[in-house]
Every structure is written in C-alpha cells, then in structure tokens.
C-alpha cells in the first residue's frame, strides 16, 4: 500500500512538473513571438516613414471651414485650431508597397503618425502588417463599411500594443499631462482626395461593446442620439458640442483584456487636393 502511494505521489509530482514546463515553454514562445512581431513592426514603421514625407500645409482659398451651428466664445481654443496647419501626403510610393492604403493619420500628443489601410473585412489587418506580411501586431485599418471621404462616422482600428506602436499610445489621451495641453485635442488626416482637421470631443474606456461603431443612421434624430451617447461617455469634458450636421471620426483599440479605448473627434476643417 505504501509503495502504491509513493508511486502515485511521484506520478502526480512528475505530471505537475511537466505541466509547469509546458506552461513555461508556452509563455516563452509567446514572448519570443511578441518580440519578433514588435521588431518587425518597428522596422516596418521606419521604412514607411522613410518612404514618405509628412508635410504641413497652410490654408488656401480652397480650404473649407466647417461652420459651427452654435456660437463659440473667442476664448475657446477652437479658434486656435482653425489656424493649425493640416498635413499632406503623396501616396504614390505607399501604394507601391500596399494598394490598400487609404490615408495617413496623426494624433497630437501621441506616437500615432502612420498610414492606415482598408480591407474587405475587419479581420485581415488584425494579423497583417502594412506590407501584408503576417504579424500579430497588425496595422491601422479603416472599417470595411466606410467610404473614407463620405461618412457620418469614420472608424479606424488598431491594436493597443504595449510597446506604444499602432494605437498603443492612444490611452495617453486619458492622462492629466495630455489633457493639460489643449493643442493635443487635434487629429490630422490626409487621404488621396483631401486633407482634414478633426477636434476631439470624447475619450473613454468601456467594457467591450459595439454600440459606438455604428456607421449608418436612419435619421438626424437617431444620429443626434448616437452623438449624445458617445459625448456623455467622455471621461473628460472637452466643452465641444456636436450635432447631426457634423461628421465624426472614431478611433478604437483595446484598453485591456475586457475594455475598449475609444476617441471621438469631429471634422472642423478640410481641403480638397
């Protein structure tokens, strides 16, 4: 009986050691894969940023100001935003690398300064880099339902990488340091057809939901209800009104394993190219 108990205990011990070894091996494998994907992503970013020049352009007679419905006090930073330059990108070289490219996005006060792409679904670029090579870090991509220059709600996704690449630095917008600088409340986008300036009006993280990812609205009333919902969610009051005449931009990423990190901005200035 004693021999049998000892044998059973040894079997349990060996099984436990084997399980620990398997868990350790799996963890090491994931760390190695993550590091390799991170290195490849950083290399891809460097190559992309060396390929193109992000130029700031001054307003011209063709610049269109999206007139606010409400009166905005002269002390509001909105008037400073109107003086900000937009960015302009020549997409010829980028399209030689990937003809899925749709635009370039720069978010003030973050590391986000990348081209974004679009596929015929919202899965492909979760696991593929800008050059379409397999990479778990993915890339920034436009919702497949969107038409980049004609939407009420334009949505861009990316992974929230811990190394601050892709949308990894987006959670910075929730910090006091970022919020203390009103010049950060601006997103700049350049596409093949137009350059545009967007003013942030809502930032938050929320348990995973898809209710902020709506792209089509049956009426202005439905759209206004949607705008009120996402504005009221904001963890910070940007003192920026939005109405059914506005086009908005939504940036979505992971905040943690159960929450999403979301930023909403409204179009305030654009110029056809």
Positions marked catalytic = 254
Q: CB within 8 A of 146, min separation 6: which ones? A: 118, 154, 155, 215
Question: For 174, which DSSP code?
Answer: G
The DSSP line for 3-47 is HHHHHHHHHHHHHHHHHHHHHHHHHHHHHHHHHHHHHHHHHHHHH
CB 129 within 8 A of CB 101: no
Pairing of β 153-157 and β 248-254: parallel
Region for residue 101 given its phi and psi (left: phi exceeds 0; alpha: psi -120 to 50; beta: otherwise): beta
CB 203 within 8 A of CB 235: yes
Determine the 3-state secondary structure of 129 from DSSP.
Answer: coil
């Amino acid at each position: 009986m004693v021999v049998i108990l000892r044998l059973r205990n040894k079997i349990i011990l060996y099984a436990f050691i084997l399980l620990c070894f398997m868990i350790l091996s799996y963890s090491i494998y994931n760390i190695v894969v993550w590091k390799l994907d991170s290195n490849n992503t950083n290399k891809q970013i460097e190559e992309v940023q060396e390929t193109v020049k992000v130029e700031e352009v001054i307003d011209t007679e063709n610049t269109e100001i999206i007139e606010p419905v409400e009166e905005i006090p002269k002390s509001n930073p909105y008037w400073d935003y109107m003086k900000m330059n937009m960015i302009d990108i020549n997409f010829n070289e980028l399209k030689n690398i990937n003809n899925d490219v749709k635009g370039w996005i720069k978010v003030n006060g973050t590391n986000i300064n990348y081209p974004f792409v679009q596929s015929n679904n919202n899965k492909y670029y979760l696991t593929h880099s800008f050059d379409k090579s397999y990479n778990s870090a993915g890339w920034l991509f436009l919702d497949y339902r969107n038409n980049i220059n004609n939407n009420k709600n334009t949505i861009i996704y990316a992974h929230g990488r811990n190394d601050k690449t892709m949308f990894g630095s987006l959670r910075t917008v929730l910090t006091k340091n970022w919020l203390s600088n009103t010049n950060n409340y601006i997103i700049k986008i350049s596409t093949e057809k137009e350059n545009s300036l967007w003013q942030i009006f809502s930032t938050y993280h929320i348990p995973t939901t898809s209710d902020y990812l709506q792209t089509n609205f049956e009426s202005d009333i439905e759209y206004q209800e949607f705008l009120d919902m996402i504005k009221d969610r904001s963890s910070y009051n940007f003192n920026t009104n939005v109405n059914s005449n506005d086009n908005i931009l939504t940036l979505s990423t992971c905040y943690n394993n159960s929450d999403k990190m979301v930023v909403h901005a409204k179009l305030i200035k654009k110029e056809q190219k």
